[in-house]
Each structure stands twice: as structure tokens, then as C-alpha cells.
Amino acid sequence: MVLYDPIQINDEVTLNEMIEGYLKQTLLIGLVTQWSSSSKVVLSTLEELVRTSPDEIVILIVDVDHNDWARKRFSVDSVPMVIRMREGQVAAVSLGSLPIRSLAAQLRL
């Protein structure tokens, strides 16, 4: 199954279930805000990354303005932040909006 559309996450229980459910896939968590133009750019870049990647990539999106638990859990000081999870653990982190190749390199995709 290939998921092209990011999945909005609004609570920590759902995030934990998704992390557990996608242990074998590449899982990216986008920590964003609605007001940030950089967040909009990174969302677009993530969607393009999913469409062009030969691997299955699942994207979860968390608006940290409405989900303070995520800001605390991932120590978010600035947005956007993209986290690559591997087997339930943080494997790589990218800050800011980057071109697709730079983002892929930073996340080791």
C-alpha cells in the first residue's frame, strides 16, 4: 500500500499506534504550524518525496500549535521539523524547509 496523502495526527495515542503500525516502513513525522510558510513548503516537499520515492513512505503531520504534547515530546523549538522514525525510534531530524534532495539526504532516505 502506498500512501500519498499525509495523515493528520491530533493525539499522542494515535501517533503511538501509527508508529507501532509502521515499524517496517519509512515513517516521517512532520511537525508544523498552519501559519508558517516554511511549514507549507515542507509539506509540499514531503508529498513530492512520497511520489518520487521507490520505497513506501508514510507521512504523519502534527500541528504543534494545537498539540503541545508533540512540541514537548520532540523538543520542538522551531518549525518545520521533520523526523524520520526507524523501528519506533528517531533515526534522523531535519529542520526548516529544504529542497527535496537536501531533505532526503538529511533524513537519510
Asked whether residue 109 is assigned to any structural domain, the reply reads no
Looking at residue 44, what is its pLDDT?
92
Residue 53: exposure state from Cβ atoms within 10 A (0-12, 13-18, ≥19): middle
Q: Domain containing 30: what range?
A: 7-102
The residues, any chain, with a CB within 8 Å of residue 109's CB and separated by 6 or more, are 26, 49, 53, 55, 57, 84
Rounded to a whole number of angstroms, the distance between the first and last alpha carbons of the chain is 19
3 state DSSP class of 54: coil
Asked whether residue 108 is assigned to any structural domain, the reply reads no
Asked whether residue 107 is assigned to any structural domain, the reply reads no
**Total of domains in the chain:** 1
**pTM, two decimal places:** 0.91
Asked whether residue 82 is assigned to any structural domain, the reply reads yes
> What phi and psi, each to the nearest 5 degrees, are found at residue 81?
-130, 135
Q: For residue range 59-106, list pLDDT tens digits in order.
A: 999 999 999 999 999 999 999 999 999 999 999 999 999 999 999 898
Asked whether residue 56 is assigned to any structural domain, the reply reads yes
Q: Nearest-CA neighbor of 67 among 8, 6, 3?
A: 8
> CATH number of the domain that 83 lies in?
3.40.30.10
Looking at residue 12, what is its pLDDT?
96
Asked whether residue 46 is assigned to any structural domain, the reply reads yes
Asked whether residue 2 is assigned to any structural domain, the reply reads no
For the chain, give the number of residues.
109
